[in-house]
Structure 1
Amino acid sequence: MNTEIVTKFLSTLPEDDDHPYRTGAWRPQTSEWNADDLVAVEGEIPADLDGVYLRNTENPLHPAFKAYHPFDGDGMLHIVGFRDGKAFYRNRFVRTDGFLAENEAGGPLWPGIAEPVEFAKREHGWGARTLMKDASSTDIAVHRGVALSSFYQCGDLYRIDPYTGDTLGKEGWRGGFPTDLGVSAHPKVDDATGELLFFNYGKDAPYLHYGVVDDTNSVVHYVDVELPGPRLPHDMAFTENYVILNDFPLFWDAEFLKHNVHLPRLHRDMPSRFAVLPRRGGPGDVLWFEADTTYVLHFTNAYEDGDEIVLDGFFQGDPEPTEGAAFGMNPKWQRIFRGLSLDGMQTRLHRWRFNLVTGQTREEQLSDSITEFGMINSAYAGRPYRYTYAATGKPGWFLFNGLVRHDLHTGAEQRFAFADGVYGSETAMAPRVGGAGEDDGYLVTLTTDMNADASYCLVFDAARLSDGPVCKLALPERISSGTHCTWAAGDELRRWVGVD
């Protein structure tokens, strides 16, 4: 393995830091690496694996003013590229305006999610609640050969070279980018049409908006989706002809909001609501469907089945946990972060069916297993599909300790558990070059191994997850734990080289 430290940043985090999400498996990195010819410490790199795995994560350089939340950290992109039986690794901070300003100041300038907006040291900020730092540390997608990093509560999208990790500037969509609100995390790319679908939200009526960017990178559709008040949507879904947005009963308390205090709570007497509208539909085309009270962070897929829209995602049995064992976490932190663990939220794969003719909703639990952060073969996005690849969580913690392959036709599950002290990332499905079936490909993830003080890239056969990895590649240093990822096929990336 040929390695080089490209840049090393100064961290102002305390040396005696005891924050559970800035230490241990979440210990931030300060170095940016180039590593070529990654060494397979187990197995061999598949010759028919061609493309790039990209993972975004929160990686703070500076402390919070008072209360750091793990969603506040600076964005860092990790890249593992594969071609011709070889692999390389890159990691880079996303050079957002907020990152550059705080790096120059040598400390925090904007409050995090658990801090009041009055802490802000700058008059301008980002986010649905305003006066937050646009960390661009949540999601990562690839559209027209360029990676786009995004922030969970709306902000700018940053263009990133998917091979080098270099920040290329803000996405402007040829002048059509909604600069007033920005874009939420989890915009969706439809491989079949080349379109990118997005939403944003804020504190002013109509509170929610939906848009479409076509394959020429132009905003061709942008409409209001009226809500009763400010909400906190996190994800969306689409089918061949429709888009599905949501209005969940977990949102900022209206009384506190009058005093500019952003305290979310679950309104247990309210139903969940889903908005179904044609992908190019207007405000008058929205159909609303009610369902059981919950909150959903992530959907896996949606498709059309006759008169019905089928939507799959992770239903939270307890969106606002009030109890929970410490599981090794210092009690002073456990109460604050009890709502981050998958077992705390009781997240299970779930299905909703919305009948476009009768207006009725049917729903069912698809699995008893507690999983989240599901990924699919992106060629099946918006279409009927069979497999979801999801993560299991360490009890009491926001850490992934294994993988599950859900077979939605039979209900069967294949599992792989990481060793104690080893934690994974969201796992991308990479179709095999020349492959045919939905599960004909590989699963790619990154691990943080606390036992070996090292990190690895693991590659699994997507059809035989429980057999364990077919390849284990050493990375140049132990990386921070992280979440969202995507896969970009090599032939698709190369198709866009040199295209504006």
Structure 2
Amino acid sequence: MDVEIVGRLLSTLPEDDDHPYRTGPWRPQTTEWRADDLEVVDGEIPADLDGVYLRNTENPVHPSLKNYHPFDGDGMIHVVGFRDGKAFYRNRFVRTDGLMAEMAAGSALWAGVSEPPELAARERGWGARERMKDASSTDVIVHRGMALSSFYMCGDLYQVDPFTAETRGKETWGGKFPFEWGVSAHPKVDDHTGELLFFNYSKQDPFMHYGVVDADNTLAHYVDIPLPGPRLPHDMAFTENYAILNDFPLFWPAEALAKGRHIPRLHRDIPSRFAVIPRRGQTSEIRWFEAEPTFVLHFTNAYEDGDEIVLDGFFQGDPEPADNGMGNKWERAFRFLALDRMQTRLHRWRLNLATGQVKEERLTDSITEFGMINSGHAGRPYRYTWAASGKPGWFLFDGLVRHDLHTGTEERLSLGEGVYGSEAAMAPRVGSTGEDDGYLITLTTDMNADASYCLVLDAARVSDGPVCTLRLPERISSGTHSTWADGAELRRWRTADTAAEAVGL
């Protein structure tokens, strides 16, 4: 393995840190690496694997002002690239405005998720920022050959080179980017049309917008999605002809907001609502559907079936877990991040456009989340979801589950005690002929070996274990959202950009 340190950020985190989401599997990194010809620990890199796996990670550099939340960390992109039976690794911090300001100051300047917004002003003086920092640390997608990192509370989309992980600036969509509202995490790319679909939300009326960026990277559509009040949507879905937004009954109570308290509560007497809008439809064309109260962090897919829209996602049986006294203080404090406490199970809603009725069914009894599909089937009928299982009581992934939605069967892989994975992206093999004809890629944090690995698995035979295990330069922090980008497609955009630069475009 050819390894080089290309950067290191100065951290001010305490040496005696005891926060479980800044230590152990969540110990943040400060070093940025360039590693070529990754060491193959076991197996062989498939010759028909061509592309890059990207993962975003919350990776704090400075201690919080008071109470650290796992979603407060600065964004770091990890890249593992494959071609011709070889692999490379890169990791870089996303150079957000917030990170650069805090690096210059040598300390945190913003309040986090678990802190009141005015704390920054109180702690740091009038020059501090009162709104939450846009860390761009939640999600990562690839559109038109460029990776885009995003933040769950809405913000800028930072352009990241998918090969080097270097920040290239902010996406502007020709100056039409909705800078006042920003864009939420989980924008969607339709591989068939080249469009990017997105939403945003805020505490300002109408509380949500929905937009479409066309294949030429132009903001082509942007409309209001009126809601009864401020909400906390996290994901969306789409079909060939529709986009599906949501209004779940887990949100900030109005009386608490009036006092500056941002603590979401589940309103059990309010139904879940889904907004179905034609992909370039107007506000007046929205159809609302009511369903059982819950909260859904992530959807897996949606598609049209006659008069119905089939929508799949992870229903939370207990979106607001009570403090039952079980576990230590940290387990109780962050119980709402543990999959077993939230009771997240794969669920299906059928929204009938002709009758307005909603039918629901649980697709599995297994507790999983962070499901990924073959992106070529996004918005279309599909069969497989590859999801993560969670360590009881903690926000850590301890295995992978392949859900077959046609047969209802599951195939599992346990990573083993003390080993934690990332969201697994599905990488179709070169010349793929089937939905599961390819590989799963994930990164692990192995506390036993004090090391991290990239695992490559056969997507059709998950329980067989890795077909290839690659060693990374150091043990990386646990993390979540990921994506896969096809190598030939990336090179096509890179060639097009180079040609455009040559003629002054």
SS of equivalent residue, structure 1 residue 344: helix
4+ runs deviating over 6 angstroms: 122-126
CA distance in 2, matches of 1:402, 1:472: 15
Letter in 2 for 1:345: M
Shift of 1:262: 1.2
In the alignment, what sits opposite 2:394? Answer: 397
Shift of 1:403: 0.2
Shift of 1:137: 0.2
In the alignment, what sits opposite 2:473? Answer: 476
In the alignment, what sits opposite 1:75? Answer: 75
Alignment of 1:64-143 (within 5 A): 64-121=64-121, 131-143=131-143
TM-score, length basis structure 2: 0.96
Q: Among all aligned residue pairs of Structure 1 and Structure 2, give the percentage whose two residues are the same amino acid.
A: 74
In the alignment, what sits opposite 1:225? Answer: 225
- Greater displacement, 250-259 / 138-147: 250-259
In the alignment, what sits opposite 2:277? Answer: 277
In the alignment, what sits opposite 1:373? Answer: 370
Contact 1:123 1:131 in 2 (8 A): no
In the alignment, what sits opposite 1:20? Answer: 20
CA distance in 2, matches of 1:151, 1:318: 25
Structure 2: gaps of 5 or more residues:
501-505
Q: Deviations over 1:208-238 (max 9, x none)?
A: 0000000111000000010000000000000
Letter in 2 for 1:65: L
In the alignment, what sits opposite 1:342? Answer: 339
SS of equivalent residue, structure 1 residue 298: strand
Letter in 2 for 1:462: A
CA distance in 1, matches of 2:338, 2:312: 20
1:360 matched to 2:353: no
Structure 1: gaps of 5 or more residues:
none
In the alignment, what sits opposite 1:56? Answer: 56
Shift of 1:124: 9.2
SS of equivalent residue, structure 2 residue 281: coil
Letter in 2 for 1:109: L
1:466 matched to 2:463: yes
SS of equivalent residue, structure 2 residue 72: coil
In the alignment, what sits opposite 1:163? Answer: 163
CA distance in 2, matches of 1:39, 1:394: 29
In the alignment, what sits opposite 1:35? Answer: 35
1:138–1:123 distance in 2 versus 1, CA, 3 Å: farther
Contact 2:109 2:128 in 1 (8 A): no
Shift of 1:332: 2.4
CA distance in 2, matches of 1:283, 1:207: 13
**Cα-Cα RMSD:** 1.2
Alignment of 1:97-496 (within 5 A): 97-121=97-121, 131-323=131-323, 331-496=328-493
CA distance in 2, matches of 1:332, 1:483: 23
Letter in 2 for 1:457: C
CA distance in 1, matches of 2:193, 2:216: 11
Shift of 1:323: 3.5
CA distance in 1, matches of 2:185, 2:126: 24
Shift of 1:125: 9.2
Shift of 1:123: 7.3
CA distance in 2, matches of 1:413, 1:304: 24
Letter in 1 for 2:196: L
Shift of 1:149: 0.1
1:325–1:146 distance in 2 versus 1, CA, 3 Å: farther
CA distance in 2, matches of 1:69, 1:344: 17
How many residue pairs were aligned? 494
SS of equivalent residue, structure 2 residue 334: helix
- Greater displacement, 418-427 / 256-265: 256-265
1:124–1:209 distance in 2 versus 1, CA, 3 Å: farther
Letter in 2 for 1:29: Q
Contact 1:324 1:396 in 2 (8 A): no
